[in-house]
Amino acid sequence: MESNNKKTGSLQLEKHYKDVTFGDMVQIIGLKNVTISEGSCISDNVWLNVCIRDEKIRMKIGKCVLIGRQSMISTGGYMEIGDFCIFAPRVYVSDADHVFDDVYQPILQQGATLERSIIVEENCWFGINTVITGNITVGRCSIVAANSVVKSDVPPFCVVAGIPARIIKMYNPGTKKWEAVRNEDDISKAIKIRGEIKLPDREEYKSIISKNSTMSQVYPIVAGRGECV
């Protein structure tokens, strides 16, 4: 009986979101506030949560996005995940925090920090167990290493790692390679090169990555649902 209920839930979501694949036990709180574009895959046990449920679109997930199993994405303001992003299992992304100013009141009834936003630009990859929190932007084609905690903006075309996350690699448009950065001087040199040899802005990059894509969807079996090959 339990498996039938799981399947029914997935089918209901797939009717609501055209050409999107869902795993079992996916929960969306604020259904009418969430858009998911075609070709994306929301895996088993994912929770998508919108704190303010009104008439606005408050969570926008692009096309051919993979949200890994047991991930949680929550917004109290506005959340955007660009096309072709990959979230590994157990990724946590939230722009809202609980308020705990009054020590004599239960934290749960003190509300949350609302009206923040997290923007994840196109073609980003978040490793397993990563945490992205605050009021930030993660730039296009950036990678967050496993077990990292991101609490500030990540520039485009960067690799970050650690707690808190820091830049460890930057893409060099001159050499066309990812190059290690060890300190602020290395970052300054990389920024100077990027000033001389421009990388595409967000709209340009979105067009390029879409043109170069040969995929129309994330392979549905990665959603889970107990399916095997």
pLDDT for 1 = 38
User: Which phi-psi region, left, alpha or beta, contains residue 212 (left: φ > 0; alpha: ψ -120 to 50)?
Assistant: alpha
In CATH, 2-223 is 1.10.10.10: no
When pLDDT is cut at 50, 70 and 90, the band that residue 12 belongs to is: confident
Query: What is the dihedral sign for C-alpha 67, 154, 214, 18?
Result: positive
Per-residue pLDDT, 2: 47
Question: Rounded mean pLDDT of 142-160?
Answer: 98
With contact defined as beta carbons under 8 Å apart, do 23 and 43 qualify? yes
Mean pLDDT of 117-126: 98
- Please report the pLDDT score of residue 11 as a whole number: 74
Instruction: Look at strands 59-61 and 34-36 and give their pairing.
Output: parallel
Percent of the chain with pLDDT over 90: 93
Q: Count the Cβ atoms, other than its own, within 10 Å of residue 152.
A: 12
Tokens 């993979």 -> residue: 66
